[in-house]
Amino acid sequence: MQQYLTSSDLCRLTELPMGTLKRLRAAGSLLAAKPGGQGRGHADRWSLAQVLGIAVARGLRRRGFSLEEAGPVLQYFFDMSPTQLEARFRDGQTCLAVFGTKILPRLVTRDSILENEQLDYSTAATAGLLPAVLDVQRIWEFIKLEAGKLKPKKETGTKKEAVPK
């Protein structure tokens, strides 16, 4: 069974301010895996892959990448199920590659970045644009660990039956 987190849990894990999440939702930039209804007690539900995408995009933004540069990475994870993500990890595709100010919006192996003979490291070092590796699998393991510590929330939308007195 796939696990979902509330917006509050998502914000706590990713350190995304709730106001920012609400603005992005209102603008249509983010859509929860299970959108909530109107009113109190009808929280949005976010998949763990979505939480991962937001965490990685948030980390990229903190490191100076624009929303436009981080957006394709976010979308990549939003389009992926936890099962697909785990399969990529088993295949060794655990990292995102960053080349200067460019982010490759897909998972790759660490060796495809660090042991790539096509990269000219001396030119990259001179320009101050050495490739970097973001270990997405490590972030994923942290999210799963923290999500496992949360108390399961009851699904909303079910009517309670009246109990006769």
Cα–Cα distance for residue pair 17/30, rounded to 1 Å: 14
Task: Give residue 67's pLDDT band: very low, low, confident or very high (50, 70, 90).
Answer: confident
Q: Lowest-confidence range among 19-23, 54-58, 85-89, 160-164?
A: 160-164
Q: Say yes or no to pLDDT of 142 above 90.
A: yes
Question: In a 3-state reduction of DSSP, which class is residue 22?
Answer: helix
Task: Give residue 68's pLDDT band: very low, low, confident or very high (50, 70, 90).
Answer: confident
Whether this prediction's pTM lies above 0.95 is answered by no
List of domains in the chain: 4-149 (1.10.1660)
Cα–Cα distance for residue pair 76/156, rounded to 1 Å: 28
Q: Say yes or no to pLDDT of 78 above 80.
A: yes
